[in-house]
Every structure is written in C-alpha cells, then in structure tokens.
Amino acid sequence: MDRRRLLGPANAITPAVGISSNPKDNEPEKDVTMSDATTEDKFFVQAGNIDNANGSCYMEVGDGSIILACSVYGPRPINNSFISRGSFSVETKFMPHVPQGTDGAPNFSELTGVEQRLSSFVETSLLPSVLLSKYPKSTIDVYVHVMACDDPSNLHRLASWMVNCASVALVDAEIEVRDVVTSGASGAGVASFMALADDGIVGMWLDGDASGVTTTLDACATKANAIRANINSYLLNRTP
C-alpha cells in the first residue's frame, strides 16, 4: 500500500472546491482553492513539488499576495547522540526581494527579528501535533520560505498561512502527526487549532487590547476550520 495515499471511509462526501487562479495549474487532484464567506482569502496549494525534500508544499494566497514554499527534511539520524524523542525545528526565511517591515533588520543571529518571531510561532503551533516519540535519535527540520508578501506589516496573516503550508508539507513527508494543524488570523491576532483536541488552541499570538480576545479567537477559529475543510479535501483526493 502506498503510504502517501490517505484513504477516507467508503461513504465519505468530498466538499466542492474551486479552481486555481492560475489556469496552467488547474489539475483537480493536485490543486485546491478555497472561497468561503468566513475568510477573505482564496488559496492554491500543491504538495510534493520539491524533489530533494522528504515533503514539501507550495501555497499561494489570494491573487499572489502571499506565496510560500515549505520543505521538510527528516526524520534524519542524529549522530553520536541518543534521545528518546525526536528533535523538531522550524526556520522561516524571507527571500531577498521580499520586504520584512520595520523589524526586519538583521540581528546577531542568521535570522532577522521578524523571521525569529514567525519561526517561533510556527514551531509552537505544530509541535503538539508531531509524534516525536516515534522518532528517537532523529531530527525533523521544517523550512518555510516567503517568496511574496504584499503587506509585511500584517505578520499575523502571514504567520497563519505559514502554519497551514507547513502542515501540508508534514503530511507530504509522511511524518506521523496527531492531526493537521490549521491557523486563522483576524485583526491583531492569529491562532492555530487542532481538531483532534476539540478545536483546542495550540498556538496563539495576540497584540493590542485584550478586551476583544474572545471575539478575535472566535474569528480565527472560524477561518481555521474553513481552511481545514479544504486542506482535508485536497489531501483525501490527491494522487501520490
């Protein structure tokens, strides 16, 4: 059996999905877009497009306002060391031509301040889902590259799509996970959710006044659920 093919129940009903804004990428079993009243974004996704990675995902949001490419390497052995649980890391990088906003100046590490914040949020969101106990003495490394971003000041929206892109790449890499994590952004907040935990929050980044937290999180959850429905449809229908 091909482990890459995710089979649903025999009586499963697949939700209708749209078409890509890019006509040449319009292949029903490999591409999916979403248009829903709960979100302002349509998106295009394609997994398995980086040959030298264990898993990968390419994602376009809107009319190319955000373009992401994610690659997963691992599980890879850690030499001269034994750990009972696998190691998991996420690194996000902006391509040189993509602006990063006011906090994008390089610091003493290889990552800018913006890249560090995004890396931390994506890693925090995905970590509860990955079954690291299945990968002793191994490391799983995730790299998310920002190829386009029309509004670098809206990091919450960018962070949410980074999580969604990386989630698909982990599935493509056949990494064992508890659930596909999806994320939604609203206003000055972004939150990631895992349906297996009754839509429990696995990652949250909120700025501004705390008085509207409940409203913001509810809006984030609504968007994340709509995105999950379309990602699940794509994963169930894609060919190896």
pLDDT of residue 33: 55
Whether 238 and 15 have beta carbons less than 8 Å apart is answered as no
Output the six-digit token pair for 75: 């599980």
Q: What is the CATH number of domain 43-237?
A: 3.30.230.70
Whether 74 and 50 have beta carbons less than 8 Å apart is answered as no
Question: What ranges do the domains of the chain cover?
Answer: 43-237
201 by DSSP, 3-state: which?
A: strand
Whether 139 and 85 have beta carbons less than 8 Å apart is answered as no
Region of 137 please: left (phi>0), alpha (psi -120 to 50) or beta: left
- The pLDDT tens digits along the chain (240 residues) read 444 444 444 444 444 444 444 544 444 444 555 544 344 579 999 999 999 999 999 999 988 899 999 999 999 998 877 788 999 999 999 999 999 876 655 555 588 999 999 999 999 999 999 999 999 999 999 999 999 999 988 999 999 999 999 999 999 999 999 999 999 999 889 999 998 867 789 999 998 777 789 999 999 999 999 999 999 999 999 876
pLDDT of residue 86: 93
User: Which H or E element spans position 202?
Assistant: strand 200-206
Region of 174 please: left (phi>0), alpha (psi -120 to 50) or beta: left
